[in-house]
């Protein structure tokens, strides 16, 4: 056989093998659980709508499946837009109400309704004889500011006795971000004015930002805030379009990724903090916007460490709103989710001080809890995702129940 014919035969064999493998994977039950298009395109916008007060909020009465192809969360939202603790709902009129507020870690779309931390807490507290509802007000992508505003919105309706706020390492960035790249909706922010010790609302009501808009509260060299706004081109290149189609539609790609994770280990750990300073980059004209800017606002990041006094004051202001605007709340509990930084002492010092000052009533550092228990947190995360799945949520709920004294439990 001539060399060209031999090469053609090999190419044909490879194509037949790949095609056969793709067909077999589609027939296997494991890979039929979710359509390939769901592999890396979370269906979050099925649950969101524009909200002039919050930027975006969950669609009342919406339901569906949230999936990356490896996890599959069955999600049901009630008539107020808050996630139910079961598909049918578990809310009992006349019971005390506990709010769980935060972002995707609270919303926990990666698991079914009854596997979230709020659902697990409610079930265990009721088993202990407490007449409580634990309401899940978490919304994917929220910062502290949006979480607090959401709690205030529902305070008159539910009159909560306790609030559990889940702090995540990217909350500082989200607090100061007006619109993320490639996000459909944006938000407002609380910003200090020069020479003023108070924080003031900026861009409330929240406008409907243009698709190419990106905005962020940057910190200058003296840690004075200013609003940086720009336009970005987020259109995919031709190769990016091809690559996205492969990721979304080929089962073979998903299978290879699945095997690689099992052989090499989890690749879903959050990125470490960054030494990139957005202010320096903008001032020097080096960049219009980069993906690394959010890392500069987390512990260990240059912006967080350089202007820690500003961000500390911002977090204190936001959590004080829970006390000032929600008179029925007796206790505020803060749960700090694991931080990818090797040293998240800046935020630990802040929350410890807030605990001593009485601004919060309980403080749980899950990094510290995991180290003390010898737990590898990566084993509790979802496959191909940094969020926790059912096993992780059960551990988190158990820690909260051990460390937090709710108003009705003492």
Place 35 in a pLDDT band, splitting at 50, 70 and 90: very low
288-313 per-position pLDDT tens digit = 788 788 889 989 899 999 999 999 99
- For residue 41, what pLDDT is reported? 43
Domain locations in the chain as residue ranges: 44-234+270-409
Please state the rounded mean pLDDT for residues 47-55. Answer: 95
Please state the rounded mean pLDDT for residues 339-343. Answer: 67
230-253 per-position pLDDT tens digit = 988 766 566 656 666 666 667 777
Place 5 in a pLDDT band, splitting at 50, 70 and 90: confident
Residue 394 scores a pLDDT above 70: yes
132-175 per-position pLDDT tens digit = 999 999 999 999 999 999 999 999 999 999 999 999 999 999 99
Residue 354 scores a pLDDT above 70: yes
- For residue 256, what pLDDT is reported? 73
- For residue 183, what pLDDT is reported? 81
Report percent pLDDT > 70 for the chain. 85
Which is higher by pLDDT, 13 or 319? 319
Average predicted confidence (pLDDT) for the chain: 86
Give a three-class secondary structure readout of the chain: CCHHHHHHHHHHHHHHHHHHHHHHHHHCHHHHCCCHHHCCCCCHHHCEEEECCCEEEECCCCEEEEECCCCEEEEEECCCCCECCCCCCCCCCCCEEEEEECCHHHHCCCCCHHHCHHHHHHHHHHHCCCCEEEEECCCCCCCHHHHHHHHHHHHHHHCCCEEEEEECCCHHHHHCEEECCCCCCCCCEEEECCCCCCEEEECCCCCCCCCCEEEEEEECCCCCEEEEEEECCCCCCHHHHHHHHHHHHCHHHHHHHHHHHHHHCCCCCCCCCCCCCHHHHHHHCCCCCCHHHHHHHCCCCHHHHHCHHHHHHHHHHHHHHHHHHCCCCCEEEEEECCCCCCCCHHHHHHHHHHHHHCCCCEEEEHHHHHHHHCCCHHHHECCCCCCECHHHHHHHHHHHHHHCCCHHHC
Question: Class for domain 44-234+270-409, per CATH?
Answer: alpha beta
């Amino acid at each position: 056989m001539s060399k060209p014919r031999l090469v053609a035969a090999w190419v044909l064999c490879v194509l037949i093998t790949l095609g056969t493998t793709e067909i077999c994977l589609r027939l296997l039950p494991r890979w039929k659980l979710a359509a390939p298009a769901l592999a890396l395109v979370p269906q979050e916008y099925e649950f969101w709508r524009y909200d002039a007060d919050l930027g975006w909020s969950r669609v009342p009465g919406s339901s569906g499946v949230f999936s990356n192809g490896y996890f599959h969360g069955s999600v049901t939202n009630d008539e107020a837009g808050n996630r139910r603790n079961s598909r049918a709902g578990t809310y009992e009129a006349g019971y005390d109400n506990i709010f769980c507020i935060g972002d995707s870690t609270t919303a926990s779309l990666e698991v079914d309704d009854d596997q979230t931390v709020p659902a697990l807490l409610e079930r265990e507290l009721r088993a202990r004889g407490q007449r409580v509802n634990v309401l899940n007000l978490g919304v994917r992508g929220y910062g502290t500011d949006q979480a607090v505003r959401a709690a205030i919105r529902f305070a008159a309706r539910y009159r909560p006795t306790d609030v559990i706020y889940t702090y995540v390492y990217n909350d500082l960035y989200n607090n100061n971000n007006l619109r993320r790249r490639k996000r459909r909706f944006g938000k407002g922010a609380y910003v200090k004015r020069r020479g003023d010790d108070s924080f003031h609302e900026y861009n409330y009501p929240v406008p409907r930002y243009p698709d190419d808009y990106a905005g962020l509260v940057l910190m200058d060299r003296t840690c004075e805030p200013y609003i940086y706004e720009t336009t970005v081109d987020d259109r995919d290149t031709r190769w990016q379009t091809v690559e996205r189609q492969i990721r979304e539609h080929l089962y073979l790609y998903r299978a290879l990724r699945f095997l690689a994770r099992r052989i090499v280990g989890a690749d879903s750990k959050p990125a470490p903090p960054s030494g990139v300073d957005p202010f320096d980059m903008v001032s020097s004209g080096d960049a219009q916007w980069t993906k690394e800017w959010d890392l500069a606002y987390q512990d260990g990041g240059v912006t967080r460490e350089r202007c820690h006094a500003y961000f500390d004051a911002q977090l204190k202001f936001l959590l004080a709103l829970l006390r000032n605007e929600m008179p029925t709340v007796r206790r505020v509990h803060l749960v700090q989710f694991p931080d990818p930084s090797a040293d998240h002492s800046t935020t630990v010092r802040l929350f410890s001080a807030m605990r001593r000052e009485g601004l919060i009533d309980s403080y749980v550092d899950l990094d510290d809890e995991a180290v003390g228990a010898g737990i590898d947190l990566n084993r509790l995360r979802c496959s191909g995702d940094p969020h926790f799945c059912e096993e992780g949520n059960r551990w988190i709920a158990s820690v909260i129940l051990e460390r937090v004294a709710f108003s009705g439990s003492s």
